Amino acid sequence: MDLSLKPFFPATKIAVSTLNLFDTLGIILLVPLFDRVVYPFFERRGQPLTQLQRFGAGFVFAALAMGTAGVLELYRKSQSPVETKYPTDADDMTTAHFLKEHISACKNIDDYNPLAYQSWFAAGAAASGKPPPSACAKVGPTYSNGTLPLSSIECDFVPLISRVSVFWQIPQFVLVGISEILTSITSYAFFYAQAPPNMRSFSASLNLLTTALGTWLCIPLVALANSGKVQWVPSDVNKGNLAAFFFMLAGIMACMIVAFFFHARKYKPISQFDGIDSN
């Protein structure tokens, strides 16, 4: 995706890891909104949100985040420039149109330039002291004078990025932040209220354990997604099906929401633990 700060600072690019900031920033900004606006709104209507209802709503927002990410991925791929090869013939320059601003930020364009490879070869190959363009190779013979023709050089396709701004991912991170507000914060209050005094710390630690298990679960899920003929999450996302992976996560969350709904209906909350023997 386009990492530039368009339209204000088009020459400046941000790191992809910066997007995690919007998850944290969303939580910081929205927690007061939920405490002072959202929750009081339901209380004034005589329908205060219970802790279990907040859990359920948080799961819904998590599923929406994954579904939205899948839709954005479909749009991103539809807006990606078609891969093209570097023009190699001075008489045929119009057959390959090339936009430098669409080159993947993590790639060096000279690695895909047969002209650069030809220059490296003419300089004496390895004797030049410089490595050859990594995406090009000699696939044919040289002329009798030792010159390597362009027809004997084969280069990989130039990796291009989508024209879609990376900031379109912000809504997904905000949805994840809302999900954390409704689930993570509520979970501490839930375990404190529903667990015996001598089990509260242990219950809270189990809550953190579920976070760790959720992170670990990504490993078998990615392995499952990549087990078919077409890998969903390859190193080059343009050759995979990342949207299907996001939709799979949304589907898993939908199944968990249904299971949570049936279990939550049977749960009977304990109103007060004070004065009760915790044993």
Summarize the confidence of residues 80-90 as an average pLDDT: 51
* Domain boundary residue, one of 155, 183, 199: 155
**In the predicted structure, residue 99 carries a pLDDT above the cut 80:** no
**In the predicted structure, residue 125 carries a pLDDT above the cut 80:** no
Q: What is the CATH number of the domain that holds 179?
A: 1.20.1250.20
The candidate with the shortest Cα–Cα distance to 13, out of 134, 132, 114, 104, is: 104
39 and 119 fall within a common domain: no
**Higher pLDDT residue, 10 or 124?**
124
109 and 245 fall within a common domain: no
* Domain boundary residue, one of 155, 172, 203: 155
Report the alpha-carbon distance of residue 76 to residue 162 in Å, rounded: 6
Summarize the confidence of residues 142-157 as an average pLDDT: 82
Per DSSP, the three-state class of 244 is helix
Report the alpha-carbon distance of residue 237 to residue 244 in Å, rounded: 12
pLDDT at 273: 54
Report the alpha-carbon distance of residue 198 to residue 161 in Å, rounded: 55
- Choose the weakest-confidence range: 79-88, 113-122, 239-248: 79-88
60 and 178 fall within a common domain: yes
* Contact status, residue 74 vs residue 242, Cβ threshold 8 Å: no
**Higher pLDDT residue, 39 or 152?**
39
Report the alpha-carbon distance of residue 14 to residue 35 in Å, rounded: 33
Which amino acid, one-letter code, is at 195?
Answer: A
**Can you read off the two tokens belonging to residue 143?**
């002329």
Tell me the helices (H) and strands (E) count for the chain, helix number first.
8, 4
pLDDT at 128: 57
The pLDDT tens digits for 39-76 are 999 999 999 999 999 999 999 999 999 999 999 999 88
* Contact status, residue 53 vs residue 254, Cβ threshold 8 Å: no
Report long-range pairs for 61-65 (Cβ below 8 Å, ≥24 apart).
Answer: 61/175, 61/176, 61/178, 61/179, 61/182, 62/175, 62/176, 62/179, 62/183, 62/253, 63/250, 63/253, 63/254, 63/257, 64/175, 64/250, 65/172, 65/173, 65/175, 65/176, 65/179
Other CB atoms closer than 10 Å to residue 245's CB: what's the count? 23
pLDDT at 272: 60
- Residue 129, domain extent: 90-155
**In the predicted structure, residue 101 carries a pLDDT above the cut 70:** no
* Contact status, residue 179 vs residue 65, Cβ threshold 8 Å: yes
pLDDT at 177: 94
Per DSSP, the three-state class of 170 is helix
* Domain boundary residue, one of 155, 180, 210: 155
What does pTM read for this prediction? 0.70
**Number of structural domains in the chain:** 2
In a domain, 85, yes or no: no
Predicted confidence band of residue 279 (pLDDT cuts 50, 70, 90):
very low
149 and 199 fall within a common domain: no
Predicted confidence band of residue 95 (pLDDT cuts 50, 70, 90):
very low
pLDDT at 148: 86
In a domain, 36, yes or no: yes
**Can you read off the two tokens belonging to residue 132?**
């050859």
74 and 169 fall within a common domain: yes
Predicted confidence band of residue 33 (pLDDT cuts 50, 70, 90):
very high
Summarize the confidence of residues 161-182 as an average pLDDT: 88
168 and 57 fall within a common domain: yes
**In the predicted structure, residue 92 carries a pLDDT above the cut 60:** no
pLDDT at 275: 44
